[in-house]
Every structure is written in structure tokens, then in C-alpha cells.
Amino acid sequence: MATTVAAPTTPPAPTTAPAPGAPALRLVDAATLGSSRRRRLPLPPWLRRLAGPALVLAVWQLLGTLGQINPRILATPAQVATAGWQLAGDGELGSNLLASLQRVAVGLLIGVGLGVLLAVVAGLFRIGEELVDSTMQIVRALPVLGLLPLMIIWFGVGEAPKIALVAFAAACPVYVNTYAGIRGVESRLVEAGRVLGLGRLGLIRHVILPGAVPGFLVGLRFALTSAWLVIIIAEQLNATSGIGYLMNQAQSWYRTDIIVLGLLIYGLLGLLADAVVRLLERRLLVWRRGFNGA
């Protein structure tokens, strides 16, 4: 008679209950461990972005305090802050800053509006492309500051040439990127709009122009940067107010603290303008999800 032998079974691993009062053990996977490591820095993103500039300022101040940097060549951050406090108390800083802001605001309003108008004409119509695009490609290759003598001859030495330079510097990047955004709209979206019954105006309003918004915002970011770069030079020539004028006067007295203060103000204004464009991107481009970094 055959006998059946049962296969040997592996006995279960002995489990030991935790002692009374001892903490219970819990298995943690890699994803949970990674997320817990990321939560170790509860700092907001804007504060982490300031870590780099803060480190630069600390090293700069340390070198100045140790005498490694001549204050007549480059003032320390503490000296720059003192000069800013004095100018703000006298009211001189506020009046010159307001003058610069007014010039940039008017120049941007004219330049951005002109750039968008030309981009729409060249992007939507073939005859507009033939008449406008080739001309704008030549114009954008011209050096902005090289036009300053002509601006002075045309508009004199008042506010008009400074505003015209800012408008010229802002119009070119807005035109190039908005035009590229209009022509970069996918043809599949246009065909889908036609299938849904959209006419020419409907396609322009609901498909083409919304699709060109990302390109416009990129151009606006470049335009803001170009505007502040141009106004620095424009305010140092035949100007009686503005941050550039203040820096030019400080050069005569070797006041590097005021010169550095003016540069920092321009940098902070550019950073603030970039933050405004980022806010517009988050508001207007909620439908687009891009890569946010690893």
C-alpha cells in the first residue's frame, strides 16, 4: 500500500509581541522616507530663493570689514544701507525713484502695446507678415543705445527721448515672442475649432490668441528687463532726476555706496517686475502644467 508523505512546510517566523510600554515598530517604504526628508525643511520657497543673495552679501560684508576691499572702490553692504537711509530721510531717493518709475511705466505702455499690435498684424495676416516682420527683424538688430543721438535730435533733451528708448527696447522682444506664439499654435487646435463651428473671428479669439499668451508673457519678461537696462543709461545723459541721474552725480564724488545703491534698486525693481509676470503666468496659464524641477 502506497504511503503519502506530506511536503515539509516552513514554520512561520516567530513573532514577538512588543513589551508593554515599548514603541511599536512600523515599516517605512522609500517613498515615505523621501517625503519625510523633504519635510525637514519647512521654509517657504521665497525664503529659500533668498539664501543665495544673502550668502553673497555676508561674504561681501566680511571682506569689507576685514579690509580686503577698499571702500573707495566698492562700499560694503552696511555703507550702502546707511547711504540709502540718509537719502530716504532727505526725500531725495523717493523723488528720483518716482521719476524713474514714471518713465519706465510710460515707455512700457507704449512699447508693449505697439509690439502686440504689430505681432497680431504680422501673425494673423500673410500680407502683414510680408510688410511688418522683415522690417521688425531689421529694427530689433539695431543697438538701442546707438539710437540715443538720434532720439536727442528728434525729441530734444527732455523726457521724450528717454521714454522713446524704453518703448523701443520693450517693443522688440514683445513683438518677436508674441509673433512666434501666434504662429506656433498647433494646426490641430485650429482644425478642431473649425469642426466645432468657429469662424475666423472665433478662431482668433478662442484658439489663436489664447495659444499665444505664453509667448507674450515671455516677451513681456524680456521687455521689463530691457526697459530697466536702457533707463540706466538714458538717465545718466541730460537728466535732472532719476536713479541714473543720482548715480551719475555720485560718480563725481567717488560715492560708491550711492552707485551700488542705485544698482541694487534697479535689480530689485527688475526682480519685482519678474515676480509680477510670474503671477500673471499662474493666473492666465492655469490650463498648462509644465515641469517644476526634480
Q: What is the pLDDT of residues 161-195, one digit of tens each?
A: 899 999 999 999 999 999 998 888 877 877 777 77
pLDDT band at 17 (very low <50, low <70, confident <90, very high): low
Higher pLDDT, 290 or 233: 233
The rounded distance, in Å, linking the Cα atoms of 244 and 69 is 25
Higher pLDDT, 239 or 217: 217
Tell me the C-alpha to C-alpha distance, in Å, between residue 52 and each of 6, 46, 56.
Answer: 70, 11, 6
Higher pLDDT, 136 or 52: 136
Instruction: Name the burial class of residue 258, with classes exposed (0-12), middle (13-18) and buried (19+) by CB atoms within 10 angstroms of its CB.
Output: buried
Neighbours of 42 (CB within 10 A): 5
Would you tell me the crossing angle of helices 77-90 and 51-65 to the nearest 10 degrees? 100
Question: Would you say residue 128 has pLDDT above 90?
Answer: no
pLDDT band at 293 (very low <50, low <70, confident <90, very high): very low
Q: H helices of the chain, where? A: 30-38, 45-49, 51-65, 77-90, 92-124, 126-128, 134-139, 148-155, 160-183, 187-195, 200-203, 209-234, 243-252, 256-284
pTM: 0.74
Amino acid at 81: A
Q: Domains of the chain, with CATH numbers?
A: 70-284 (1.10.3720.10)
Q: What is the mean pLDDT of the chain?
A: 81
pLDDT value of residue 286: 67
pLDDT value of residue 2: 45
> How many C-alpha atoms does 81 have within 13 Å on its Cβ side?
5
